[in-house]
Structure 1
């Protein structure tokens, strides 16, 4: 898929083979897991990165010619575009190749939280267990990503961390591509300090611990409120005493003045 497609009247377009219609277009995720995004320092490009929980969903399909692993990330209380947080892994058993979709590339929201590497690692691990001898076909990289140096470096680091080889045909690092790779040579790693998979029992323990901490905070708050009430009562008593003393002193002063004026 190129950035500048040829005109419909050109011979290249007329001779192009018809697109292969892939099966399982209506497959939706069937298994879900909770992911914990660890709180991180604010990033200058992506902004704040607070503690957050998201849902990772996946589904598998197999037949004699192909296999599919479909993965999505769901953000509670937030909607994303259709092409975001979505990754398909297509396996062709005839050609013994593995490909990734969608064609627009892996687009993750929120960025820089470890989600992309986790999804890629999950996809690689799934393929390595079954078809380690298959080949991931190389492809050209999107030139738009190379227009910003930080974006290009982040993309290349992502690919290289999973075992892909990135090469460039020019010194400006604009025309990049990924070389063919053997599935068994890829790396299924992600940053576990940024992202952790939370199992059901762990989630239940976290809720239980949170409830316990909340109860402790309520007890502490009640004790503080009692102390404040006590101090307020003592303060009121002191104010009353001071008022009485001031009134008595004024009475004495007035009495002394009256006695003095009567002589």
Structure 2
């Protein structure tokens, strides 16, 4: 390897940008979300009732503030790039930015979680910085289908964002909003419901009562089946005895007739 090649290799190897001090912080607030059952989708399949966890992390400094939200599905390991929404407030430029830069990818999809997370971020920002500007961004073009693109655009518009489609087909569409106060902090409560601690306890108690009632019903049915089996065995024995008696009488009559 020559000195020129070594210099070129050194120039191409650039140091990675330093991580933000808040990049690896763990969430410290947790809430339970109920996702209502919805009709089966042709592409996405069944959408049954399920519960997911909303994990939140909040930090503040004089220069910036952060709200990071995670959606955790029980029994699944969450990818670092999925089910994450960040809301950054820059107090120096008085701007609000939504992240991560890679985009918002949610699982399970089309269950109302996108609107819910955006609404939570808008409500958090409007409590203190409703006059801040909203930093826009570009929307990815690699959408799986037109239906998903339409749902994404509808979600953004419903939450108060504007979408601009450039005349150049090769360019990406962009989203934005004039100010934080223009964003909407509401979502479809029929699809996503926040379950408080007392409500969750009441649901568990009701589920336990329903389970005990079902166990009692199953026990009663098993007892009835066992009783019917005993009665069936007695009836079978009686029928066999009657058949044997009838055969004996028939044989006796035949014997008497032939005598």
| Same fold by TM-score greater than 0.5 | yes
Matched-pair contact (CA < 8 Å) for 1:138–1:181: no
Deviation at 1:138, TM superposition (A): 1.9
1:218 to 209, 215, 228: 215
Query: Unpaired segments of 5 or more residues in structure 2?
Result: 1-15
1:25 to 23, 26, 36: 23
1:254 aligns with 2:251: yes
For 2:168 and 2:44, how far apart are their aligned partners in 1? Answer: 28
Deviation at 1:76, TM superposition (A): 1.2
For 1:90 and 1:20, how far apart are their aligned partners in 2? Answer: 18
2:106 to 97, 105, 108: 108
1:118 to 116, 119, 123: 116
1:186–1:132 Cα change, 3 Å: same
Per-residue CA distance 1:201-241 (angstroms, 9 max, x = gap): 11111111111111111221222122212221221111111
For 1:42 and 1:79, how far apart are their aligned partners in 2? Answer: 25
Q: Which residue of 1 aligns with 2:230?
A: 233
For 1:137 and 1:103, how far apart are their aligned partners in 2? Answer: 12
For 2:160 and 2:18, how far apart are their aligned partners in 1? Answer: 28
Per-residue CA distance 1:91-148 (angstroms, 9 max, x = gap): 0001100001111111101111111211111111000111000011122222223x73
Q: Which residue of 1 aligns with 2:8?
A: none
1:242–1:256 Cα change, 3 Å: same
Q: Which residue of 2 aligns with 1:178?
A: 175
My pick for the range that moved more, 62-71 or 148-157, is 148-157
Per-residue CA distance 1:225-258 (angstroms, 9 max, x = gap): 2221222122111111111111000001111111
Q: Which residue of 1 aligns with 2:205?
A: 208
Alignment of 1:62-141 (within 5 A): 62-141=60-139
Deviation at 1:198, TM superposition (A): 0.9
For 1:173 and 1:111, how far apart are their aligned partners in 2? Answer: 27
Secondary structure, counterpart of 1:48 in structure 2: strand
Q: Which residue of 2 aligns with 1:187?
A: 184
Q: Which residue of 2 aligns with 1:11?
A: none
TM-score, length basis structure 2: 0.88
Per-residue CA distance 1:71-103 (angstroms, 9 max, x = gap): 111111112321001111110001100001111
Matched-pair contact (CA < 8 Å) for 2:97–2:136: no
For 1:193 and 1:134, how far apart are their aligned partners in 2? Answer: 31
Segments of 4+ moved more than 6 angstroms = 18-21
For 2:218 and 2:18, how far apart are their aligned partners in 1? Answer: 65
Give the number of equivalent residue pairs.
245
1:155 to 149, 152, 159: 152
